Chain A
Amino acid sequence: MIELEHISKRYDGRPVVDDLSLTVPDGAFCILLGPSGCGKSTTLRMINRLVPFDSGAIRIAGEDIRDVPEEALRRRIGYAIQSIGLFPHWTVEDNIATVPRLLNWPGRRIRDRVAELLELLRLDPESYRRKYPHQLSGGEQQRIGVARALAADPELLLMDEPFGAVDPITRDALQNEIARIHAATKKTIVFVTHDIEEALRLATVIAILERGRLAQWGAPIDIVEHPASAFVRDFVGGEGSGLKLLGLRKIAERMRPGESAVGVPLSADASLRDALAVMTERHTDRLPVADASGRAIGIIMLADLVR
């Protein structure tokens, strides 16, 4: 659990973070969302003490971060950034091993951990270990950046717009990876982005920041359904928020069990937005729905989407 209590930070008298309080539960995928200059990156960088704050307190698992020496604190927290920041003169293996080496892990354990992480990121350990960053594509570099952040099995992962500089297809793949890693490891992740789609897709909880203050805090669906202010409504997409809402709900929530229809079925795990897209494509108002094993379990109708 990460608690931010009445955090404030000023640069030259101008507040960048203004009396911000948040509690991120263990295992949450918390996204700090807002336009540029809203203080989201600054807030993230306060958690590993890269940026000092003027007043308030931050606690990780009940421990005040100012009671921990800053290097020791950072070695406990994974850190991945938009510019990736891989060390260009080190191999992939050396890059991933950065924090384990700082923690003086034995060589054997480091080698095993590097292989394990490369496999977790779906990169073949034997062909990637010895490569240098400039031999990798942008997407591969960011995977190594994520592997490096996870290397010492940190309790908390901080990610500052990690997928902001890659092309849309690579970003989509990386978002899938991080969602899978979050589901598999149950690590607490604090993730900064200005991309609302990315936030709705990944977050279990979203904090929307406006000029250094907390504009709204809640689950993605609450924020889209009940924006707390005009700022939040505009930010999450105004009129377009209906589609976002459909994207956040699963077919399983609205389907009619037991009934049947013709055609290739959709998974009950797919979103209502996917269902709408397929209906439009097939010129139909009803679709069969199947469970994970592919067995037909019911149908979804156009009217169900707007219920």
Chain B
Amino acid sequence: MSGPAVPAFRAAARFPAIRLYNHVVPVLISAAVIAATACGFISVAPNRLVSGEPVALWLAADPRVTAALAVLGAALLTTAVATSNRAAHFVSAGIAVSLVFLVLAAAGQAAHAQAGSASKLARVSLGAAFWVMLGAAGLAVLDGLQRARAGILVQLAAVIVIGAGFAAMIEAGAFDALSLTHEYRTREAQFAGALTRHVELVLASVGVAVIAGFPLGVAAVRRPGWQGPVFAVLNLLQTIPSIALFGLLIVPLSAVASAFPSFAAVGIGGIGVAPALIALVLYALLPVVRSTVAGLSGVDRGVVDAARGMGMRQRQRFWQVELPLSAPVLLAGLRIVTVQAIGLAVVAALIGAGGLGSFVFQGLGQYAADLVLLGALPAIALALAADFLLQSATALLGRRVAR
């Protein structure tokens, strides 16, 4: 991804007659090339607890892999910059997908090569260049699909192809030499439990926040006088740092647990799932209420006036007109809340709620960056998946109520 890319870019800049159709891909490729030259693609440490030495891409990976990356990168740059039609955008998205796989394969291959030549205790971690290149390739996929105006189904297909390919590579042992995989193998049993707990925490907190926040939002729309105080309280809650809120809840909840042993018996106490859920719900309330208010008050006043003037009762107006017309905004709010809860639930591990955050904090405690990643990467993947699913749902609904 080095040689031919830079001259092609310069040539376009020197002759203004040649139009540069895409400014995003050249930036992404430049970032990838700079990262590959300046940073390590992987890092190798003699054991788990020492920080590793970065190894550059062309030293770590097979020269053929490096060459293939350079050729594909140049091909992506050429298609993206040279023309602007739908087919070309689909081709660049396709090339970008193969780049994603190639970067992943390069990491696996480099790890194998390095691990083979070192002691059994040696650990191979992913370096900065890997992450930048993977990110650049991923963004190039998005850019291509967006320029091609790909529909939801095509986007879904792209996600499935990348996900399935990634799963197949894991299955085939492509990443077995990576330290991240070692961390996973030693915690395989805990991992499934942590992932399940994380999803449960998110679903439960978002569920409760919607059940409590939606009626609150509806009430605030009907009585605008309530909006000031309601938002004042919710904004205040939002400004408390998450760690502080988890900490603040320890004192009152331990007091409750010791005063009422029956509460303690069902798991309510200063630490554990209960305070984590309460904090997550409190954080989720503001976006739920805010998007409910924004959605319902954003419904065209003329439409509401017509509905009243034709003799619809308040309940009929709400279910038949206001709710369906505000659904896209409400779903967008749900998306924000869910993604936010997935991130915050990581912190909940601090007070013993479990979830993916437990790996993150263990890793921080042990100075083991790859253990941190074992918690962080699935959390990021969950957030991206939730975001994508809810965004698709919003787009499908938005198409139905388009004006």
Q: Is the CB of B310 within 8 A of A148?
A: yes
Name the contact of A88 in the complex, choosing from B310, B312, B401 (C-beta under 8 A): B401
B120 within 8 A of A: no
Q: Quick check: A88 and B311 within 8 Å, CB to CB?
A: no
Interface residues on B, range: 20 to 34
Contact of A102 among B301, B316, B321 (CB under 8 A): B316
A-chain residues with CB within 8 Å of residue B304 when the two chains form the complex: 85
Give the residues in chain B near A70, CB-CB below 8 Å: 311
Which of A48, A75, A85, A134 contacts B402 (CB under 8 A)? Answer: A134
For the complex, give the distance between the alpha carbons of A50 and B317 in Å.
14
Partner of A75, one of B303, B305, B310, B401: B310
Q: Is the CB of B309 within 8 A of A134?
A: no
Q: A191 contacts the other chain (Cβ, under 8 Å)?
A: no
| Contact yes or no, B310 A79, CB < 8 A | yes
Please, which residues of chain A bring their CB within 8 A of the CB of B310? 74-75, 79, 98-99, 102, 148
CB of B300 closer than 8 Å to a CB of A: yes
Given A73-B311, A102-B311: A89 and B306 interface contact (C-beta under 8 Å):
no
A72 to B316, CA, bound (A): 14
Please name all residues of chain A whose beta carbon is closer than 8 Å to the beta carbon of B306 when the two chains form the complex.
79, 81, 84-87, 145
> For chain A residues 55-95, which have a beta carbon within 8 Å of chain B?
70-75, 79, 81-89
Given contacts A85-B307, A134-B403, contact A102 B302 (CB under 8 A): no
Q: Would you call A133 an interface residue if the criterion is a C-beta within 8 Å of the partner chain's C-beta atoms?
A: yes
Interchain pairs with CB closer than 8 A, number: 71
A residues less than 8 Å from B308 (CB atoms): 50, 74
Taking CB as reference atom, which chain A residue is nearest B320?
A87
Q: Chain B, 370-403, contact with A by CB distance < 8 Å: what is the 0/1 string?
A: 0000000000000000000000000000001111
Q: In the bound complex, do residue A71 and residue B401 qualify as a contact, i.e. CB atoms below 8 Å apart?
A: no
Tell whether, in the assembled complex, residue A88 and residue B403 are in contact, meaning their CB atoms are under 8 Å apart: yes
CB-CB under 8 A for A75 and B302, given A87-B321, A89-B400: no
Interface of B is mostly: helix
Task: Tell me which residues across on chain B come within 8 A of A99, comparing CB atoms.
Answer: 310-311
* CB contact between B401 and one of A50, A79, A89, A98 (< 8 Å): that residue: A89
Chain B's closest residue to A84 (CB) is: B302
Interface string of A95-109 (1 = CB under 8 A from B): 000110010000000
- B223 interfacial contact with A, CB 8 Å: no
Say whether B309 contacts A50, CB under 8 Å: yes
Say how far B273's CB is from chain A's closest CB, in angstroms.
Answer: 40
Report the minimal beta-carbon distance from A105 to chain B, rounded to whole angstroms.
14
Kindly identify which residue among B305, B316, B320, B324 contacts A81, using a CB–CB cutoff of 8 Å.
Answer: B305
Q: How far is the CA of A84 from the CA of B324 in the complex (A)?
A: 19
Q: Indicate with 1 or 0, residue by residue over A119-135, a CB within 8 angstroms of chain B CB atoms.
A: 00000000000001110
What residue of chain B has the Cβ atom nearest to residue A133's Cβ? B403
8 Å CB contacts to B: which residues of A161-204? none
B residues near A48, Cβ cutoff 8 Å: 309
CB <8 Å contact, A87 and B303: yes
Task: Kindly report which residue of chain A lies nearest to residue B402, judged by CB atoms.
Answer: A134
Docked-complex contact B303 and A86, CB < 8 angstroms: yes
Q: Are A85 and B311 in contact (CB under 8 A)?
A: no
Mask: chain A, 141-164; 1 = CB below 8 Å from B; 0 = not: 000010010000000001000000
| Assembled-state Cα–Cα distance A134/B401 (Å) | 9
B300 partner, pick from A85, A98, A132, beta carbons under 8 A: A85
**Within the assembled complex, what's the spacing in Å between the Cα atoms of A145 and B310?**
11
Instruction: Report, as a range, how many residues of chain A touch the other chain.
Output: 20 to 34
| Docked pose: A158 CA to B311 CA in angstroms | 13
Chain A residue at smallest Cβ distance from B316: A102
Is B313's CB within 8 Å of the partner chain A? yes
Minimum CB–CB distance for B231 against chain A, Å:
25
Tell me, in angstroms, the Cα distance from A89 to B323 when the chains sit together: 11
- What 0/1 readout, one digit per residue, does chain B (322-339) give for beta carbons within 8 Å of chain A? 001100000000000000
The complex places the Cα of A82 from the Cα of B300 at a distance, in Å, of 13
Q: Which residues of B contact A82 (CB under 8 A)?
A: 302
**Chain B, Cβ-Cβ closest to A134:** B403
Q: How far is the CB of A201 from chain B (nearest CB, A)?
A: 25
* Pick from A72, A83, A134, A148: contact of B302, CB under 8 Å: A83
Alpha-carbon distance between A142 and B382 when the two chains are bound, in angstroms: 47
Measured in the bound complex, the distance between the Cα atoms of B307 and A74 in whole Å is: 10
List B contacts of A132 (CB < 8 A). Answer: 402
Query: How long is the Cα–Cα vector from A132 to B399 in the complex, in angstroms?
Result: 12
Tell me, in angstroms, the Cα distance from A133 to B312 when the chains sit together.
Answer: 20
Find out whether the CB atom of A81 lies under 8 angstroms from the CB atom of B312.
no
Please judge, given known A-B contacts A134-B402, A134-B403, whether A85 and B312 are in contact too, CB under 8 Å. no
Q: Which residues of A contact B307 (CB under 8 A)?
A: 85, 87
Question: Hey, which chain B residues are within 8 Å of A86, CB to CB?
Answer: 303, 306
Closest B residue, CB atoms, query A88: B403
Q: Is the pair B303, A85 in contact by a Cβ cutoff of 8 Å?
A: yes
- Is there an interface contact between B309 and A88, defined as CB atoms closer than 8 Å? no
17 further A-B pairs in the complex, CB-CB below 8 A; given A71-B311, A87-B303, A88-B325: A45-B309, A50-B308, A74-B311, A81-B305, A83-B301, A85-B300, A85-B302, A85-B303, A85-B305, A85-B306, A86-B306, A88-B303, A88-B401, A88-B402, A89-B401, A98-B310, A134-B403
Residues of B within 8 A of A (CB): 300-313, 316, 320-321, 324-325, 400-403
- Listed by A's residue number, 28 A-B pairs whose Cβ atoms lie within 8 Å are A50-B308, A71-B312, A71-B313, A72-B311, A73-B311, A74-B311, A75-B310, A79-B310, A81-B302, A81-B309, A83-B300, A83-B302, A84-B302, A85-B305, A86-B303, A87-B307, A89-B324, A89-B325, A98-B310, A99-B310, A99-B311, A102-B310, A102-B311, A102-B316, A132-B402, A134-B402, A134-B403, A148-B310
Closest 10 CB pairs of A and B: A85-B306, A83-B302, A74-B311, A79-B309, A75-B311, A85-B302, A89-B401, A71-B311, A85-B303, A88-B403
